[in-house]
Amino acid sequence: MSRALELSRVEFAYPDGRVALRGVDLVVDRGERVAILGPNGAGKTTLALHLNGIFRATGGRITVAGMELTDTNLREIRGLVGLVFQDPNDQLFMPSVREDVAFGPANMGLSGEDLDQCVSTALELVDGTEFADRPPHHLSGGEKRRAALATVLAMDPEIVVFDEPSSGLDPAGRRDLISTLHTLQMTQLVITHDISLALELCPRSVIMNEGRVVADGKTSELLSDATLLAENRLELPFGLSIG
């Protein structure tokens, strides 16, 4: 199986000197769904923002679909890696959902019937056709998340990175989101505090703490290790038993 992502000794420090990533090594194969777990401040979101060049590493190397991330191929890599932010309002700003989904492809030169088909396909993937012509601010929380995902899928990425996708959703919205993510065939990285979601959606998990990868393996095995969870300020939801 070919690799979707490869990070080698990736380091990053903010301008104020705070070190956020400390030699991160990570390999993700095409088609994998991987949860990124860890306490607040572990470096999870900082890592995600490196994967399409929003942040640039101060050390190490990032390879996406076999291409090392550099200034010369940054535009191409941004087309391969889609980010779905924690707050869907960050990605929804047009008068209608349809226009939001069309925004990215149109700016890449797609038009006419090709653009219409691209938008329709992306909305169908998230079961969003019914709210295509509604203003984003009229949507429920779950619908907004699916609409935001459609804006990313319209760009036909190979990899999608989700930052806390279930945050703020009611049980029905959460269930709809999980069902949608199960149907997607591309590589997925899911940054989450939702242990139940990680267990249900991602066969593999990576635990980060203090800017480092401290564990990487089968989700069920990592979440069965009480000592590992305690050391990294993670805990199973009340009533959830594994094994």
pLDDT digits 0-9 by tens, 152-176: 999 999 999 999 999 888 888 888 8
| Residue 78 CA neighbour count, 13 Å, CB half | 14
Instruction: Report yes or no on 145 lying in a domain.
Output: no
Tens-place pLDDT, residues 9-43: 999 999 999 999 999 999 999 999 999 999 999 99
Q: Could you report the per-residue pLDDT of 202-243, keeping only the tens digit for each? A: 999 999 999 999 999 999 999 999 999 999 999 887 666 676
Whether 116 maps to a domain, the answer reads no
Segments forming the whole domain that contains residue 181: 3-86+156-231
Question: Which stretches of the chain are DSSP H helices?
Answer: 44-48, 74-80, 97-107, 112-125, 141-153, 171-183, 195-201, 219-222, 226-231
- Structurally, the chain folds into a number of domains equal to 1
For residue 227 the two structure tokens come to 């000592």
Residue 172 forms part of a structural domain: yes
Cα–Cα distance for residue pair 146/158, rounded to 1 Å: 18
Residues 83, 48 contacting (CB under 8 angstroms): yes
In a domain, 124, yes or no: no
Does residue 169 lie in a domain region? yes
pLDDT of 129 higher than 70:
yes
pLDDT digits (tens, 9 = 90+) for 52-94: 999 999 999 999 999 999 989 998 999 899 999 989 999 999 9
Can you give the pTM of this predicted structure?
0.92
43 lies in some domain: yes
Structure tokens at 208: 């980060």
| Residue 106 included in any domain | no
Domain annotation covers residue 7: yes
By the 10 Å C-beta count (0-12 exposed, 13-18 middle, 19+ buried), 1 is classed as: exposed
| CATH number assigned to the domain comprising residue 54 | 3.40.50.300
Contact 198, 205 (CB under 8 A): yes
What is residue 197's three-state secondary structure? helix
Cβ neighbours for 130, distance < 8 A, ≥ 6 positions apart: none
